[in-house]
Structure formats: C-alpha cells, structure tokens
Chains A and B, each alone.
Chain A
C-alpha cells in the first residue's frame, strides 16, 4: 500500500519537474531522492513545494574529498498534505568541493534559515541569497575553518584548533 502512494507521488513530481531533476524512491533507505543541478535547485524546490512538501527538516552537506565533490541535501516533508505526511524527500545537489555554492532555498522554505546558516559555517557552502549568513554555533575565531570537512582533524590542543586551523599535533 505504501508503494502505490509512493509511485503516485514519484509520477506527479517527475511530471512537474520534467528533466530538471531525477526523482527516484530509494527503497532501502526509505525516502524519496530528488537529484538536481545547482542552477535548477530553486525551480525544483518550488515544484516540490507545490506538490505539498511544505517544510524543511534539515539542510546538510556530505563531504567526499576523494571524489572532489560535496553533496548538499535538503530534507523536506509535509505537515498538511495527508498523502505526503509520512514521507520524506531529499533534494540533493552535488557541487564541486573547491567552490561549493548553491542558491539559498529560504525564499521557498522559510524553515531552512537556521539550518543553512549552520551548514555554511561547518562546511563553507555558500548559500546565495540567504538573508543572514553569520556564525551560528561556532565562535568568531572559527570563521573560515569549516570544521565538519574531512580535512579538519580534531586536535587535542586548544591552541592548534584556533591558530593552526586544526592541524593534528
């Protein structure tokens, strides 16, 4: 019964986004994966909102240094649409690790505002159009250090963390 509903949603969403994104249901992981390019992200997000995904649960990035890319993921779900209530969709955008910049989806989902701030300060992903991209959780000394990237090692000495940018002693 769940797969019929899921198929219907996949069909509807694929119809709306056309060839701007790839919509597939990941059976093992249990969520809907929507992969798209950086330039189409805002349009695809708007179409997803039309389908009924009305709030953003999380924004994060996964760092793949070996492959030279970072994948920025917006997890969204629905509070009001009864078909989509138990379903989760992950809008994924792959960007180059050297210049990770994506458009901010705050105009579409206002609930993403604090999550995008956190992803920016942890990974260095630039969100173009975000109204307020300051440090959220980290102190000002950490600006530019991007702690959650794979090449930032947790150091045992406090001075290393702040001065040498996290080099392992």
Chain B
C-alpha cells in the first residue's frame, strides 16, 4: 500500500484537504487558538489576583493581541546559541516539537464526514501514539543545551514521562474496551446513541485529565519547567523566536489532548450531523472545537489556584493511585460495555 493511497483523487478533494490541514482545523486556527488560550490564561489568572492582566496592547479589546506583540518583539532579539550546545538538536528540535504537537490533530475526526479527508479505521490508535512521542524530543532538547538546569529538567521530564505513560495507555485501552472500536468516527456514533463517554466511564476521564495536565506542564505539574528551581527547565537557553515557539508548544499539545478528550469523552460533534464538506465537516467541527476549547480553558485556569508539586510526590502518584484509578477504569469499562 503506497502513500499514494492516502492522497485524494481530483482537484476538489485536494483543496478540501489543504483547507482542512492549513486553515480549519489546521495550522492557522491552531496558531490563533494559541493566541487566544494564552491570553485567556493570563486574563483569568489576573482576575483572580486582583489585577488587569494584558491590557495596554489593545485597550479596547482587552489586550487580546498581547501574544502577537510578544512574538514581534521576540523576532527582533538575537538568537543566542551557547558555545557548548549541540547545534543541530538545539536549533531544530523546537521545530520538531511543534510538528509533533500539531500532528495528532490530523488524525482526530471533527465531523461525520471525516473519511473524505483521511480514510482510516485506526484513528484512535494513531492519535494516542503520536501524543506520546512529544516528551522524547523534550528530553533531547534538555540535553542539547549545555546547561545544568536544562539537564536536570530533561531528567525530570524523563522520570515523569515514564511514570504517567502507563496510566495513559491503560485509559486509552479502557475506552477501546468500552466502545469496541478503534475508529473515532464510530466512537462518536456510539456516544450519540447512548451517553457521552464522561458519564459512561468517569474514572477514565479523570485519569485522562491528570495525564494531560502532567504532559503539557500545566500547574500544578509544571515540575519540568519549574520557575524557582530550574530557571525554565529544558528551554532555559532559548531566546528570540525560539523562545516564543517553546512557550507556545505546550499549548498546542494541550489542544491536541483536549480535542481527543472532547471526541472520546464529550461526544465530539454529537447532536449535530450532516454530510458534505461544509455540512459534514466544518459545521460539526466547530462544535467539537468549542468543546475542546472549553476543556482547555478549565485546564489553564488551574494555575491561579495551586502551587507546584514536588518531583518525587508526582512520580509516586503516577505509580500508585493514578495507576490504580486507571486499572479501576478498565473494570468500569468492562462492566459498562455489557450494557451499551
């Protein structure tokens, strides 16, 4: 089976695929989403903390283009490469990180007519597998910068990656057990006919959210990039546009995870249906997208409430009660799958 199998035949399908990949829900929307979610995080934290948050950049719209202003400023700075750093990984790995952070979204269907873009019956497996690749690049980034703090950050990431991988795979496995399929389009159909996944197996949803918070480095699990212990973890030595990159990549990872969450647990595009490119893909896609954004907003709000966990406590949790909950979710799935 050659790769040509996956290319659409004809001009219109090709344009539709390009629109899907580049505009919505592709690259442009993801970048705009990164703008929005970073602004939302800073504004929500500011409201809790009795201050304004981003305001001055565009006073009438509440500072929403703050990240654009930051990016413009970053692009005028000098990109400093430390002398002892490994040149190729240091310079190019952030690009890889960005690519692999965006990649899972290609495999997650956002409308019932997804097969016109990417025909596959194994989308759940592909999406989950690609989300697990990102932390490995992070470990290499931490080693490539010639800095002890980056090195310690990379080691922390390696420890935590291993600790939270097993519960994640168990949760995915339990959802596969529940829905009896690896095809995400069919998963949403099953949720449409019964209940959303979060009600069918709430334990799995909780564990999934915990793993997401850990993997994307949201407080209280921003142990890898701990501000007061390691200056910025593996990303310490980056300046200029790379710094903007590596600051935005966790949010894009967060979007991938949240999209998978909304399809797997929240019913995806559930009440809506349809066919054709616009009616079957774009309009239901907006609903899925909005659900994912709501989940993201909840997760980034946690920074205003909790301080940071300690490394050994987080690892202990990953191997003890998070793992137990993941096993329990397997049992819950086995029981519930008899009923639906």
Do A and B interact directly, with beta carbons closer than 8 Å? no
The residues of B with any CB-CB pair to A shorter than 8 Å are none
